[in-house]
Amino acid sequence: MLRERAIQYLKAQRISAEALMESASRPGNVIMEYKRLVRNAAMDEKTLFDLENQLRITELSAAKIIDPWELITEPTIIKNDSTSENFLISIFGLFLGTFIGFIIILFKEKNSGLLYEEKILKEIFKAEIFEKINLNKEIYTINSKDILNNEIFKKYLENNMVFIKSKLLSKENINKFSRLNFKDINNFSVINTFDSLQNKDRIILLTSLGFITKEESIKIINRLKMMNKYVEGIILLES
């Protein structure tokens, strides 16, 4: 039994040796063809790998384009247009603000006696407001600087105007007014007493809203009335 196994082993070794000798004796073109096939197989495998990666990238890009966002909840669509509602709220707010402002002005006038409305000032003196001047910005609201000086002062009043002022009006504002409208300061003056008034004099009141009281206004009117005079026009000064 052992002898047979040894014979079988030796036969297998002989066959292996013969196969090795046969492969060594193969022609060179067979070996080159084998190497070429192995190289082509490796290239094909790499090409397949690249194509699979490109396909995966293309599929991901297509998925992003088709469904970029996904809503978590259904959107709520408002059926009623809120434009008209907002417009009504704005109108109501405007009227409410105007009403509150009017109440504040009445409260101030009642408690302080100061006049904050042009309409009331005009009614008390029965005179028109010739001009409203912003002294800091040098802005003439009603007409213009030329109209005030050339038409009202020179033509209408014939340069016979005499200026009076309310008690609370500052000297600084009066000086600004004179510099704006009179090249020669000597042609401008504000009187404090009425005993020097002449028949030809035309009275103009210089004041500001909130800087003259109703009581002071009535006193000015009564003093002028005793001299057969009255305020012909009012100039409001704003700082």
- Residues 146, 230, single domain; the answer is yes
φ/ψ of 201, rounded to 5, equals -70, 135
CB 152 within 8 A of CB 142: no
Structure tokens at 147: 């109209």
Number of domains in the chain: 3
- Residues 165, 204, single domain; the answer is yes
Q: Which residues have C-beta within 8 Å of that of residue 198, sequence separation ≥ 6?
A: none
- Residues 153, 183, single domain; the answer is yes
- Residues 21, 49, single domain; the answer is yes
- Residues 48, 143, single domain; the answer is no
Structural domain includes residue 69: no
Structural domain includes residue 79: no
User: Integer distance in angstroms from the first to the last C-alpha of the chain?
Assistant: 135
- Residues 94, 171, single domain; the answer is no
Structural domain includes residue 150: yes
Q: Residue 109's domain spans which residues?
A: 84-113
> What's the one-letter identity of residue 42?
A
Structural domain includes residue 70: no
- Residues 159, 233, single domain; the answer is yes
Structure tokens at 209: 């809203």
pLDDT at residue number 96: 78
d(CA 234, CA 119) in angstroms, rounded, equals: 12
- Tens place of pLDDT for every residue, the chain, 239 residues? 555 655 665 666 666 666 666 655 555 565 676 667 667 766 767 777 777 778 788 877 766 665 556 656 666 666 555 666 777 787 877 877 777 876 776 666 566 789 999 999 999 999 999 999 999 999 999 999 999 999 998 888 787 889 999 999 999 999 999 999 998 877 788 988 888 888 889 999 999 999 999 999 999 999 999 999 999 999 999 98
- Residues 39, 98, single domain; the answer is no
- Residues 45, 157, single domain; the answer is no
Q: What is the model's pTM?
A: 0.56
pLDDT at residue number 7: 65
Residue 164 β-bridge partners:
205
- Residues 98, 155, single domain; the answer is no
- Residues 196, 168, single domain; the answer is yes
Structural domain includes residue 77: no
- Positions of E strands within 146-207: 161-165, 202-207
